[in-house]
Structures are given as C-alpha cells and as structure tokens.
Amino acid sequence: MDLVVVGLGYVGLPLAAHASAAGLTVVGVDTDAAVVDALRAGRSPVPGVDTSALTPDQFVATTGFGAVAAAEAVVICVPTGLVDGEPDLRAVIAAGRAVGEHLRPGTLVVLESTSYPGTTEDVLLPLLQARGLVGGVDFHLAFSPERIDPGNAEFGLRNTPKVVSGLTPLCAKRCAAFYEQFVDTVVPAAGLREAETAKLLENTYRLVNIALVNELAVFCERLGVDVADVLRCAATKPFGFQAFRPGPGVGGHCIPVDPRYLADRARSEGLPCSLVDAAHQVNAGMPGHVARRVRDALAGRPVAGARVLLIGVTYKPDVADLRQTPAVSVVRRLRAMGAEVAYHDPHAPAFAVDGEPVRAEPDAGAPADLVVLLQDHAVLDLPALARGPRPVLDTRGVLTGDHVHHL
C-alpha cells in the first residue's frame, strides 16, 4: 500500500483523491462509520469534494488501522479544534496511538493537522515510538501543513505550494519526495517547528487584517464614510497593501481557531499575544454590530416582531460549510431582540441555532421587512436584491441602490 490517510474530512479526502489520481494505492481511515459507508457507496461525505478519482482499484475506505502495517506513507489529517477556548489535540493523540500500534520500519509518517509549534516532536513522536521504533532512525517523521481552501476554483492541492519539514534532513527529503508525486511545488522549511509556526502565521495574518477592516467599517459607519469606497481606493496602491473585506464576523475551521493555538503557545512561554486577542475581540463583536445596523435599517420600526431574512449563512462564499459561521451569532442576537428570522441559502438546505431550526425560504424574494446579505454566493441574483422595494443591509459591500444599507 502506497498511502494511508487518517481522517477523511476537508483535508484528508482531497489528499486521498489527488494521490489516487496520481496512481498511488490509498487506504482511507476514518473512525466515523458514516463517512466510510458513504465512500463505499460512491458518495462524497464532504460537500464540494470530488471523489471520482477514488476508484475501487485504487482506494479503500475503512474504520480500522491495520493497513498502516503495509503502508509506505501515513498522513494524519484529523481535526484540531478548541475546547473552552483551549487547543484540543485529542484526535491527534488518538490517531498517533493507533498508527503507532501498527507502524513498521521504513514508513513515512506526516502530520498535516494544524497545531502549535512542538506538537509533531513533543506529542506525536512519543506515541509513534511506543513500541520501540525510533523516529528519524527506524521511521521518518514529518510535518506538512494543510492549505485546503474550500470553494477556491483557482488554487487546489496540486497548484498550491506545499511546505514540508522533517525530524531529520532525511525525513524532510522523504516527505518532499512523497508530495512531489502529486503537488507541483514543494517548499522545504528549516524544521518541524518552523513549518508548524508558518501555518499559524498564515491564518493569524488573515484574522488580524480582517479585524482591521471590520473595525474600520464600524468607524466609517459612525462618521458617515463609505468604507467600500475607502477600500476600493486603497486597493489601487500597487505595493504595500493587500485588500481585505469587512463582514459579519469570521468562520470556518481555520481563522477562528488556528490563531488561538499561537496565542496559547505564546502564553505558555510567558509571552503576550495581545494583537491576536484584540483581533478576536473585534471579529467576535461584528454580529452585534450587524444587529445594531438591522435596528437602524428598520428606520424606527421595532425589531421585535420584524421579519428579517438572512441571505447566505455559510461561513464563506460558494461553499456548503457551516462550521463556525458568524450567521449563528447573528441569529442569536436577532432572536434576542425579538425578530422573526428566516434564511435563504442554496448551499445550506438546513440551518439550526442552539437546536432550534431557522426557517428556510426557497426564494430570496420571500416576504420580509428587512433583508440581510451575510454571504454573497455566486448563485445569488444580487442585483435583484438591490432593486427590490425592501430595505437591504449589505454586510459584504457588494450592493448599491436606494434601499441598500452598508455595514
């Protein structure tokens, strides 16, 4: 067996598909039997991920780890989230133990799960060595951060540069040679911790810059300044500026989560991480700002009893992913103010907040006292929203019209 992929979610499933398409024989392992059953039935358990390359002669899905004993390479792609705001490595630890029980000499083990610097060497390595094998001697250990961007039609796994690193220089070379089979560009890092930190920097950079433009949007609204035009003008500068857009908050598995791993590691070393903390506070406050702007856009009509239609509730455009979506906090705020909340999103056939379903409307033109554009999916007829008689609160800065209010 060429490859065992542990964790068949948004990261592991595309990896398995690309490796299989490149001619590698792949076993996909997931402890969720529903995921395995879907793949065995020829269905993708992850919305938007094409699994057509996972043919029966190239790919097998299972809940067991026995195939590790025959694998040339094992890549761990399990989720790393938060519990009470603290890093949660339980999935990495469980995967490491299971892989370690079956690991044989000569195998390459790669961790792709995002975590704080030191995770690969201090957490994963001891688990893999539990049966007496020595990392860097008997097997190769590496870290290569995932860079999956759901819904991105331009950059996928093949044409996104892949950062690689290893416990030893030979481990790093083995890791690079593995990914070069189906990735166009491989970028060696100086070491495991450099690669781990690079991943955290990428998403912390986005968190901080999104917070900056969100705070700017609140500032501009107070002063009567058109923030969309400010950003349009600033973006014409050909150097020293990268455009970010304000919005109702941040979502997904990366931006709300990964910077907390950086901050937690900094605090464990007695170092401040005040910029990251401030950015989280700004972004967490945006749903509240949206609720205040809803009140303003109703122009004197009480929010209590008002029919508010949310357009687009996934965390980013053109994906069916509701993880950490700021729409949840927006709904909570509006419900607390007494609004009757419904939503329209072709990518989200069902949406619930705190166990209570939000009524789905099949048409963006459904009756409402106010429409709130949270996500500008390409499938939506955005000009029609702006032309209608209903007031529209545009949190994305993409609409113009007499009835349009901006964030």
237-278 tens-digit pLDDT = 999 999 999 999 999 989 999 999 999 999 999 999 999 999
Kindly state whether residues 246 and 152 are assigned to the same domain: no
**What is the C-alpha separation between 404 and 293, in angstroms, rounded?**
12
Please indicate, yes or no, if residue 105 is contained in any of the structural domains.
yes
As for how many domains the chain has, the answer is: 2
Write b or e for each residue in 390-403: b if 16 or more Cβ atoms lie within 10 A of its Cβ, otherwise e: ebbbbbbbbbeeeb
Please indicate, yes or no, if residue 256 is contained in any of the structural domains.
yes
Domain of 317, in residue numbers: 237-406
Kindly state whether residues 266 and 185 are assigned to the same domain: no
**What is the C-alpha separation between 94 and 158, in angstroms, rounded?**
29
Label residue 118 exposed, middle or buried (CB < 10 Å: 0-12, 13-18, 19+): middle
pLDDT digits (tens, 9 = 90+) for 294-327: 999 999 899 999 999 999 999 999 999 999 999 9
Residue 311 confidence (pLDDT): 98
Per DSSP (E only), the strands in 134-268 are: 140-143, 162-166, 186-188
Is 254 among the catalytic positions?
yes
Kindly state whether residues 182 and 252 are assigned to the same domain: no
> What Rg, from alpha-carbon coordinates, does the chain have?
23
Please indicate, yes or no, if residue 374 is contained in any of the structural domains.
yes
At 356, which helix (H) or strand (E)?
Answer: strand 356-357
Kindly state whether residues 179 and 282 are assigned to the same domain: no
Please indicate, yes or no, if residue 396 is contained in any of the structural domains.
yes
Please indicate, yes or no, if residue 27 is contained in any of the structural domains.
yes
Kindly state whether residues 183 and 53 are assigned to the same domain: yes
Q: Exactly one of 77, 220, 254, 273 is catalytic; which is it?
A: 254
Please indicate, yes or no, if residue 197 is contained in any of the structural domains.
no
Identify the CATH number of the domain in which residue 293 sits: 3.40.50.720
Give strand pairing partners of 29. 6, 62
Kindly state whether residues 392 and 292 are assigned to the same domain: yes
At 19, which helix (H) or strand (E)?
Answer: helix 12-21
At 74, which helix (H) or strand (E)?
Answer: strand 73-76
Q: How far is CA 33 from CA 36, 37, 357, in A?
A: 5, 6, 26
Kindly state whether residues 80 and 158 are assigned to the same domain: yes
Kindly state whether residues 169 and 275 are assigned to the same domain: no
- Mean predicted lDDT score pLDDT of the chain: 96
Kindly state whether residues 152 and 246 are assigned to the same domain: no
User: Last residue of a domain, which of 189, 219, 249?
Assistant: 189
Over residues 287-296, the mean pLDDT reads 97
Kindly state whether residues 160 and 23 are assigned to the same domain: yes
pLDDT digits (tens, 9 = 90+) for 152-188: 889 999 999 999 999 999 999 999 999 999 999 999 9
User: Last residue of a domain, which of 163, 189, 215?
Assistant: 189
Q: Against a cut of 0.75, is the pTM above it?
A: yes
User: Last residue of a domain, which of 152, 167, 189?
Assistant: 189
**Which residues make Cβ contacts (< 8 Å) with residue 353, sequence separation at least 6?**
328, 331, 332, 335
Kindly state whether residues 167 and 272 are assigned to the same domain: no
Q: How far is CA 32 from CA 9, 37, 46, 394, in A?
A: 10, 9, 13, 39
At 308, which helix (H) or strand (E)?
Answer: strand 307-311
Kindly state whether residues 128 and 259 are assigned to the same domain: no
**Which residues make Cβ contacts (< 8 Å) with residue 375, sequence separation at least 6?**
311, 312, 313, 314, 315, 316, 317, 327, 345, 396
Please indicate, yes or no, if residue 16 is contained in any of the structural domains.
yes
Helices (H), strands (E): how many in the chain?
12, 18
Please indicate, yes or no, if residue 290 is contained in any of the structural domains.
yes
